[in-house]
């Protein structure tokens, strides 16, 4: 058997997140069903982490063990033929047998996209937001995230997380053409964390709370202190990084 890391992209609009669920369709289940048909055996895959319902990914990663006789390039081709148009396998790499898509990830990156002008081509792919924002002030607040480790204030209340500690490496708003995009990278994320952070930073940008208020919200470790979670359809998982030594 050989272990492979597959890279996959998906538009999350029609899915209840990445993870397989008993009563709803996740992207993971769709991939497992297609692979099971092609390989004529039950297939289970392990993703780098979950994404919420409606969230998109330009680079999600999952691992799978396959017999050495399987031609993975052909598998990739056949699966893409059978997968729906909103899911695409982008590539595959051979990794060491102990490599794990979830536990070996050293960083994950997300982007949240906001548009301020109505755009029929960004339906379900960006948050249409018309109120004026002080982006400079939002970036001052975003930098404070790098000073903290405990982000309970931005976590969903009902969660199975064993710790609220995360190390954030990057948090910045950037103007990209007509869109305003929030970039954030960390070693791990809590459920709903990015959407809650963005929602609270928007409160800063609208001058409803100060930069110092934002700092105090993090320190309180209380989800009720933070702002609302922004809609899922503006959020993208954009990159999952691994140490070089897991690859052959």
Residue 177 pLDDT > 90, yes or no? Answer: no
Domain(s) labelled CATH 3.30.70.580 in the chain stretch across 2-103
Residue 159 pLDDT > 80, yes or no? Answer: no
Catalytically annotated residues: 52
Question: What is the pTM assigned to this prediction?
Answer: 0.96
Domain(s) labelled CATH 3.30.70.660 in the chain stretch across 107-239
Residue 154 pLDDT > 80, yes or no? Answer: yes
Q: Residues 47, 52, 55, 59: what is their CA dihedral angle, to the nearest 10 degrees?
A: -20
Q: Region 162-184: what's the mean pLDDT?
A: 95
Q: Region 169-187: what's the mean pLDDT?
A: 96
Is CATH 3.30.420.40 the classification given to domain 107-239? Answer: no
Whole-number pLDDT of residue 158: 72
φ and ψ at residue 139, rounded to 5 degrees: -70, -30
Task: State pLDDT tens for residues 222-247.
Answer: 999 999 999 999 999 999 999 999 99
CATH ID of 2-103, from 3.40.50.620, 3.20.20.120, 3.30.1330.10, 3.30.70.580: 3.30.70.580
Whole-number pLDDT of residue 104: 98
Task: State pLDDT tens for residues 114-124.
Answer: 999 999 999 89
Task: State pLDDT tens for residues 75-84.
Answer: 999 999 999 9
110 annotated ligand-binding residue: yes
């Amino acid at each position: 058997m050989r272990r492979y890391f597959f890279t996959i992209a998906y538009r999350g609009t029609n899915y209840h997140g990445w993870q397989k669920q008993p009563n709803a369709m996740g992207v993971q289940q769709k991939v497992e069903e297609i692979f099971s048909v092609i390989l004529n055996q039950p297939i289970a895959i392990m993703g780098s982490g979950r994404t919420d319902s409606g969230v998109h990914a330009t680079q999600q990663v999952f691992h799978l063990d396959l017999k050495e006789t399987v031609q993975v390039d052909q598998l990739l081709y056949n699966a893409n033929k059978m997968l729906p148009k909103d899911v695409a396998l982008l590539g595959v790499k051979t990794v060491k047998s102990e490599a794990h898509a979830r536990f070996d990830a050293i960083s994950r990156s997300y982007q949240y996209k906001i548009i301020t002008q109505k755009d029929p081509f960004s339906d379900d792919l960006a948050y249409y937001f018309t109120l004026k924002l002080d982006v400079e002030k939002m970036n001052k607040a975003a930098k404070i995230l790098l000073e903290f480790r405990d982000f309970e204030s931005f976590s969903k209340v009902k969660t199975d997380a064993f710790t609220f500690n995360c190390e954030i490496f990057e948090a910045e708003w950037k103007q990209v053409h007509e869109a305003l995009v929030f970039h954030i990278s960390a070693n791990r994320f809590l459920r709903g964390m990015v959407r809650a952070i963005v929602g609270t930073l928007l409160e800063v940008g609208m001058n409803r709370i100060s930069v110092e208020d934002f700092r105090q919200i993090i320190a309180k470790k209380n989800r009720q202190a933070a702002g609302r979670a922004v809609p899922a359809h503006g959020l993208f998982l954009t990159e999952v990084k691994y140490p070089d030594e897991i690859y052959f």
